[in-house]
Amino acid sequence: MKLNIKIPTSLNEITLRQYKRFLKIQESEKNTRFLNAKMIEIFCGIRLDEVMLLKVSDAEEISNILTELFEGKPSLVTKFKIGKVEYGFQPQLDDISLGEYIDLDTFIGDWDNMEKAMNVLYRPIIVKLKDKYNIEEYKVGTEQNLLDMPMDAVLSSIFFFWNLGLELSETMMNCLEEEGETTEALTQYLNSQANGAGINQFSDLLKETLRDLKISLN
């Protein structure tokens, strides 16, 4: 039996929905060959019984190709389309509301609710002029649309915030040291739960998330 298999060549061909489905299986299944079979089924869009008809060598080759897609460090994806709707990355992060920040801080490292974090960061573009654009206001309850967003956008935004967290932490500590104000109270603030998970814990959470995606951070 001859199978026509479309193997993704980029993370923009894999959706958040597909990746979450694979993660659920990965949590409970430890058999590597079966996991590879499910990876092919989910990411290539074929039935499991069809995967089982593949030669072992072909299945291993496809699994390696798919795994390698998650080993890069993609640049921030600012725009993508879901159907006919174009989504844009939040162009004014310094103007986000407290509610947006809390939701982002709460869900950015939670794969069960990752679409909620992405709903803060990516929204439909309503006005566009060359490279500049405006997006819709933040609405809770529209996150299900983001389940079909490409994984390169998900991954690049997570990586973006991991780097941002490191830079913010270093900048704040350097400024405090220069002013001679690195007191125990301020240090505790930087690592406290008062502002979400705290800068250090927030960075650790994103680093762990990236590790789950099998991405090298070095």
Higher-confidence residue: 166 or 25?
25
Per the domain annotation, does 47 fall within a domain? yes
Number of domains in the chain: 2
Per the domain annotation, does 4 fall within a domain? no
Domain co-membership, 123 together with 187 = yes
Per the domain annotation, does 147 fall within a domain? yes
Domain co-membership, 182 together with 129 = yes
Per the domain annotation, does 2 fall within a domain? no
Domain co-membership, 45 together with 112 = no
Domain co-membership, 62 together with 118 = no
DSSP the chain: ---------SGGGSBHHHHHHHHHHHHH---HHHHHHHHHHHHHT--HHHHTTS-HHHHHHHHHHHHHGGGS-PPPP-EEEETTEEEEE-S-GGG--HHHHHHHHHHTT-GGGHHHHHHHHEEEEEEEETTEEEEPPP-TT-GGGGGGSBHHHHHHHHHHHHHHHHHHHHHHHHHHHHTT---HHHHHHHTSSTTTT-HHHHHHHHHHHHHHTT----
What range does the domain containing 206 cover?
Answer: 79-212
Among the residue ranges 44-53, 81-90, 166-175, the one predicted with the least confidence is 166-175
Its pTM stands at: 0.78
Domain co-membership, 67 together with 173 = no
What local confidence, expressed as pLDDT, does residue 51 receive? 95
Instruction: Point out the domain boundary residue: 71, 87, 111.
Output: 71
Domain co-membership, 152 together with 62 = no
Domain co-membership, 66 together with 104 = no
Domain co-membership, 109 together with 32 = no
Domain co-membership, 110 together with 49 = no
Domain co-membership, 41 together with 102 = no
Domain co-membership, 128 together with 84 = yes
Domain co-membership, 139 together with 179 = yes
pLDDT tens digits for 159-207?
Answer: 888 777 655 545 444 544 555 544 444 444 444 444 444 445 545 665 6
Instruction: Point out the domain boundary residue: 49, 71, 93.
Output: 71
pLDDT tens digits for 99-152?
Answer: 898 898 888 888 999 999 999 999 999 999 988 999 999 999 999 999 999 999
